[in-house]
Every structure is written in structure tokens, then in C-alpha cells.
Amino acid sequence: MGVLSSSAGPARIARVLAGRASQAVGVAVLVSGLCFLVVQRLPGDVAYRIAAGRYGYDLVDEEAAAGVREELGLDRPAWQQLLSWLGDLGSLDLGRSLVTHQPVLSEVGYYLTGTLQLAGAALVLAIVIGCTLGTAAALRPGSAVDRLTDLWVALVRALPAFLLGLVLVVVLSVHLKLLPAAGHGGAGAIVLPALTLALGLSGLFARVARDAVVATRQSEHVRFARTKGLSERLVLLRHVARNAAAVLVPYVGVQAVVLVEGVVVVEALFSWQGLGHALVHAVFWRDIPVLQATALVLALLVVAVNTLVDLAGLWLDPRPRQGSRP
């Protein structure tokens, strides 16, 4: 943070944070309103759906649904239900799940941690794999390594996560017996889902890293660094890496958001407990508080990631900017 404030200036950081904070509040109100509207518009009787979530999908009868309707006051007009939720949100009370009776905050916190663990691990793996391949390819454009990287990029991008995951399971779990095929919490259970996500992403990272490194290496300041007599290794570390990162970081930010939202399929495939799981169940069961909170968390996550990208950008490229762009 010391580096950040000295090079980027506290005023600009404050401006970034204030802008993003107001954005977060706006997003929160909009998203929860939209969620509520969507659930109201979905077909099917809400009371029956909640009862099915509680007691089992083919054990629900009219009495159970009537019990749920009475308990939750689902007969109230929709606007009253929305207002009471917004009021609770204002006092930072997210309520309890209509199905499991657990506090929404702990429920969503649990699934969010699962998703962040998975997305974080996937992102780090993807950056390591992608940047290594990309930089290797950029050092000799047109070489065999460069062409192999192209092939890699095409291959992992063309494979849908579902298929890639199954291939990894068959190879690493069934044949080599290295990792568990599915589950959550057991040793090594995170590796396969994280790898599935990471391999898909690594192709894009390799591509962007390669182009950024090639462009930076041809720039004048890098040529000057070479003329200064620095070794190729030092040039890469001191002058190329940071400049290429200024291009790569916003890109990683965009992918991180896509990743968090895209883990749904992978979570289902590997029985990983994350936000995707929570979201699917909440929609299915019409568990409105959990649905609103999950969507809210996803939306705020987008804002948070963008804020981090802005701050990282300020640190990587502290040159003053024109206009209102933060």
C-alpha cells in the first residue's frame, strides 16, 4: 500500500474508491429489485416451490404448501414483501432462508467462500500457466514454441468446461488415481475443478500476455534498456514485465468476473459447494432472500474486482491522466 499511495496519490485513490462505493449502492438496490421482480414473474406457485425445497420434491402436498404460505405471509401484496426486504437490507439484516431457516448471511458467506477459493485458485493457476506460455512464445515470435502456444490456445478455448472437466477426471482421477473425481472439502478436491477452469482461461491469458510482451519488447524504452547493456533477463524483469502487466491486469479483472459467474457449471460437475449451487437452488426453490443476497454478492463482487483493477492500474502505471477517467 505504501508503494501505491506514494506513486498514485491519495486523492486519486480516494476518487476511485468513492466512485466505486456509490456504484455499489446503486447496484445493490437495482439488483435486489430486479431479482424480486424476476421471481414474481417466474411461473409456478412460490409456496409449493418452497415446500418442495424443504420437504423433498415429490413429497409436497396442498397442506404443506398452505402451511408455508401462512408461515411466510406469502399472501401479502408483492410491494409489501419487497419493501420489507429493502428495509431489512438497509439495516444490514438479510434475514433467513425460506427453505433451510439458516441466516442468509452465513449461508451466502459459506457458498461465497467456496466460490472464491475455487475462482482464486483457478485464476492463479491460469495466470501462471498462461503467462509462462505467453512469455515463452513472445521471446521468439514465429518459433515452434510460439506455434505450439497457438495450438494450445485454440485447443483449450474450443473445449467447453464441462468436457474439459470430464477429460481431466478420466485421466487424473480414473486412470492415474491421483485426485478425487468429485466432492468438497476432502484432500485435493479443489485441484480438478480449479484446473478445469484454469486451463480454459490460460489460453486467453497466454494470447494476451504474448502480444503484450511482444509489443513492449519492441517499444523504445526497452530498446534503450538493451542499449544500456542490461542482460535480456533483467530487461524482461525490470522493463517488460511491469509494462506488459499494465495491459494484462485489466484483462485479468474482466476474466475474474467472468470466472466467478462461470463456475456454476464446474461447481455442478464436481459437486463443489459455491455460489452457483446456491443460486440454482434459490431460483428453483423461490428462496427469495437467498436469491437476492446471492445476486447482490455477485454484483458487489464485480464492483470489488473492478476497484482492485483500478487500484492495480494506478500502481502499475502512475502517469497522470486527462479527463475524469479514474
Q: Which residues bind another protein (CB under 8 A)?
A: 44-45, 48-49, 51-67, 99-102, 106, 109-110, 113-114, 116-117, 120-121, 123-124, 166, 169, 173-174, 177, 180-188, 190-191, 194, 268-271, 273, 284
- Which residues lie below 8 Å from residue 279, measured CB to CB, with a gap of 6+? 264, 291, 294, 295, 298
Number of residues in the chain: 326
Nearer to another protein, 58 or 220 (CB): 58
| 216 phi and psi angles, rounded to 5 deg | -65, -40
Cβ 114 to another protein shortest distance, Å: 7
Cβ 68 to another protein shortest distance, Å: 9
Cβ 236 to another protein shortest distance, Å: 24
| Max CA separation in the chain (angstroms) | 83
Cβ 38 to another protein shortest distance, Å: 16
Q: What pairs with residue 96 in β-bridges? A: 103
| Nearest CA among 158, 137, 311, 144 for reference residue 212 | 137
Nearer to another protein, 50 or 213 (CB): 50
Cβ 158 to another protein shortest distance, Å: 22
Three-class SS state of 302: helix
Cβ 143 to another protein shortest distance, Å: 31
Nearer to another protein, 33 or 109 (CB): 109
CA distances from 3 to 18, 152, 259 (A): 20, 37, 29
**59, containing H or E segment:** none
Nearer to another protein, 86 or 312 (CB): 312
- Which residues lie below 8 Å from residue 231, measured CB to CB, with a gap of 6+? none
Helix residue ranges per DSSP H, the chain: 2-8, 10-41, 46-55, 62-72, 78-90, 104-139, 144-158, 161-168, 191-217, 220-227, 232-235, 241-269, 275-285, 288-316
Cβ 100 to another protein shortest distance, Å: 5
271 CB-side CA count, 13 A = 9
Cβ 258 to another protein shortest distance, Å: 17
Nearer to another protein, 132 or 226 (CB): 132
Q: What pairs with residue 103 in β-bridges? A: 96
Nearer to another protein, 10 or 186 (CB): 186
Nearer to another protein, 137 or 205 (CB): 205
Nearer to another protein, 63 or 75 (CB): 63
